[in-house]
Amino acid sequence: MKPTSTPCMPWDGPVRDGLPILRGGRSARRAAYAAVHGDPGPHPIVTVCGTSDCVEPDHLATTLDARTHCGNRHPWRPETTRWRRRRGHVERDCLLCRAEQKARARDRRRYM
């Protein structure tokens, strides 16, 4: 994380999945970033201060891929990630989630 000279500007509006949103579901971070720095394009907006509800434009930055964990909060690491082409694009699968899913299926079959 980069040190910042300006204080955080916490969002006191609506929140979805822990992230600040505007009416209509638009990202408050994206709007704040675009107002000062211009359109970020398709790149995700992240905070460099580490505060999830911060919308201070100086604390916002674009990144190529902001996701560091899968939907079940397993970290994306080379040893736990499988890349594959699906439906015309490349996506990644969490091998830990896949192992848990297989174990649940095995348990269901065992107790049938």
**Tens-level pLDDT at each residue, the chain (112 residues):** 445 567 899 999 999 888 899 988 889 999 999 999 998 877 788 888 888 889 999 899 887 766 788 889 898 888 998 888 877 777 889 999 999 999 999 999 887 7
Whole-number Å distance between alpha carbons of 110 and 38: 56
19 lies in the same domain as 58: yes
For the record, the structure tokens of 9 come out as 């500007």
Domain that holds residue 33: 15-62
Residue 4 domain-assigned (yes or no): no
Q: What is the count of structural domains for the chain?
A: 2
Q: Do 55 and 85 lie in a common domain?
A: no
**Pair 60, 32: CB distance under 8 Å:** yes
Q: Does pTM top 0.85 for this prediction?
A: no
Q: Which amino acid is at 29?
A: R
